[in-house]
Amino acid sequence: MRDRAELTAILGPTNTGKTHLAVERLCAHSSGMMGFPLRLLAREVYDRVVAIKGANQVALITGEEKILPKDARWLLCTAESMPLERDVAFVAIDEAQLGTDPERGHVFTDRLLHARGREETMILGSESLAPMVRALLPDAKIVGRPRFSTLSYAGPAKLSRLPPRSAIVAFSADQVYAVAEMLRRTRGGAAVVMGALSPRTRNAQVTMYQAGEVDYLVATDAIGMGLNMDVAHVAFAGLSKFDGRRRRRLTVAEMAQIAGRAGRHQRDGTFGSLTLEGEAAAAFRPEEVEAIEEHKFPPIDFLYWRDGDPDTRSLDALIRALERRPDRAGLRAAPEAVDLAVLKALASDPEVRRRAVGPDRVRRLWAAAGLPDFRKTGPDHHARLVAHLYGWLSDGDGRIPQSWYAEQLARLDNVQGDIDTLADRIAGVRTWAYIAHRPDWLADPDRMAARARGVEEKLSDALHERLTQRFVDRRTAVLMRDLAGKGEDFPVIVDAEGEVSVGSHAIGRLEGFDFHVDPAARHADRKMLLAAAERKLGGEYERRGAALAADADASFTLCTDTGAPVTLLWRGHDVARLMPGKNLLSPRVQLDRRLDRLSAAGRAAVTARLDTWLRGEIERVLGSLRRAGLASQDPAVAPAMRAVLAMLVDAGGIVPRESVKDALAGLDRAERRAIAKLRIRIGALDLFLPDMLKPEAARWRAALRAAATGAPMPELPADSAVVLHTPDDPALLERLGFRAAGPQMLRVDIAERFARHAHEARGCKGPVVDAALATSIGLKPEALARLMRAIGFRPAAGEAGWVWQGRPKPRREREQPAGHAFAKLAELKRG
Q: What is residue 541's predicted lDDT score, i.e. its pLDDT?
A: 87
Residue 766 forms part of a structural domain: yes
pTM (2 d.p.): 0.64
3-state SS, residue 169: strand
Poorest-confidence range of 95-99, 504-508, 633-637? Answer: 504-508
Does position 371 have pLDDT exceeding 60, yes or no?
yes
DSSP at 472: B
Q: What is the pLDDT of residues 649-700, one digit of tens each?
A: 888 899 999 888 888 888 898 999 999 999 999 998 999 999 999 999 999 9
Q: What is residue 802's predicted lDDT score, i.e. its pLDDT?
A: 84
Residue 698 forms part of a structural domain: no
Residue 49 forms part of a structural domain: yes
Mean pLDDT of 258-287: 82
Q: What is the pLDDT of residues 151-171, one digit of tens each?
A: 999 999 988 889 989 999 998
Residue 366 forms part of a structural domain: no
Residue 296 forms part of a structural domain: yes
DSSP at 484: I
Q: Of 622, 494, 616, whose CA–CA distance to 556 is shortest? A: 616
Contacts 24+ apart (CB under 8 A), 610-618: 610/556, 610/568, 610/575, 610/576, 613/553, 613/556, 613/568, 614/568, 614/578, 614/587, 614/589, 616/553, 617/553, 617/558, 617/700, 618/585, 618/700, 618/704
Three-state secondary structure along 500-539? EEECCEEEEEEECCEEEECCCCCHHHHHHHHHHHHHHCHH
> Domain check: are 112 and 168 in the same one?
no
> Domain check: are 16 and 94 in the same one?
yes
Q: Of 281, 277, 274, whose CA–CA distance to 157 is shortest? A: 274
3-state SS, residue 615: helix
Mean pLDDT of 620-624: 92
Domain count, the chain: 4
Q: What is residue 505's predicted lDDT score, i.e. its pLDDT?
A: 65
Q: What is the pLDDT of residues 726-767, one digit of tens each?
A: 655 678 888 888 888 888 888 999 999 999 988 888 767 778
Q: What is residue 813's predicted lDDT score, i.e. its pLDDT?
A: 41
> Domain check: are 88 and 185 in the same one?
no
Q: For residues 361 and 353, what is the distance between their CA atoms, to the nearest angstrom?
A: 10
Amino acid at 92: A
Does position 363 have pLDDT exceeding 90, yes or no?
yes
Q: What is residue 825's predicted lDDT score, i.e. its pLDDT?
A: 34
Name the average pLDDT for the chain: 87
> In CATH, what number is assigned to the domain containing residue 55?
3.40.50.300
3-state SS, residue 233: strand
Alpha helix locations (H) across 236-349? 252-259, 286-294, 315-323, 338-347
Q: What is residue 523's predicted lDDT score, i.e. its pLDDT?
A: 65
Does position 486 have pLDDT exceeding 70, yes or no?
no
Range of the domain at 22: 1-146
Place 815 in a pLDDT band, splitting at 50, 70 and 90.
Answer: very low
Residue 630 forms part of a structural domain: no
> Domain check: are 161 and 274 in the same one?
yes
Q: Could you write out the DSSP letters of every residue in 174-198?
A: HHHHHHHHHHHHHHSB-EEE-TTS-
Q: What is the pLDDT of residues 429-459, one digit of tens each?
A: 999 999 999 989 999 999 999 999 999 999 9
> Domain check: are 247 and 216 in the same one?
yes
Q: What is residue 493's predicted lDDT score, i.e. its pLDDT?
A: 73
Q: What is residue 722's predicted lDDT score, i.e. its pLDDT?
A: 86
Task: Give CA separation, 572 vs 198, 357, 515, 547, 558, in Å.
Answer: 54, 90, 15, 14, 10
For residue 217, is it left (φ>0), alpha (ψ between -120 and 50) or beta? beta
Q: What is residue 429's predicted lDDT score, i.e. its pLDDT?
A: 95
Q: What is residue 462's predicted lDDT score, i.e. its pLDDT?
A: 94
Residue 75 forms part of a structural domain: yes
Does position 560 have pLDDT exceeding 70, yes or no?
yes
Does position 488 have pLDDT exceeding 50, yes or no?
no
Mean pLDDT of 198-209: 88
Does position 224 have pLDDT exceeding 80, yes or no?
no
Q: Determine which helix (DSSP H) or strand (DSSP E) holds 151, and give its type and residue range.
A: strand 151-153
> Domain check: are 137 and 159 in the same one?
no
**Residue 505 forms beta bridges with which residues?**
502
> Domain check: are 42 and 174 in the same one?
no
Q: How many CB atoms lie within 10 A of CB 491?
A: 10
Q: Of 373, 316, 378, whose CA–CA distance to 347 is shortest? A: 316
Does position 279 have pLDDT exceeding 70, yes or no?
no
Name the percent of the chain lying above pLDDT 90.
56
Q: Of 51, 9, 11, 52, whose CA–CA distance to 29 is shortest? A: 52
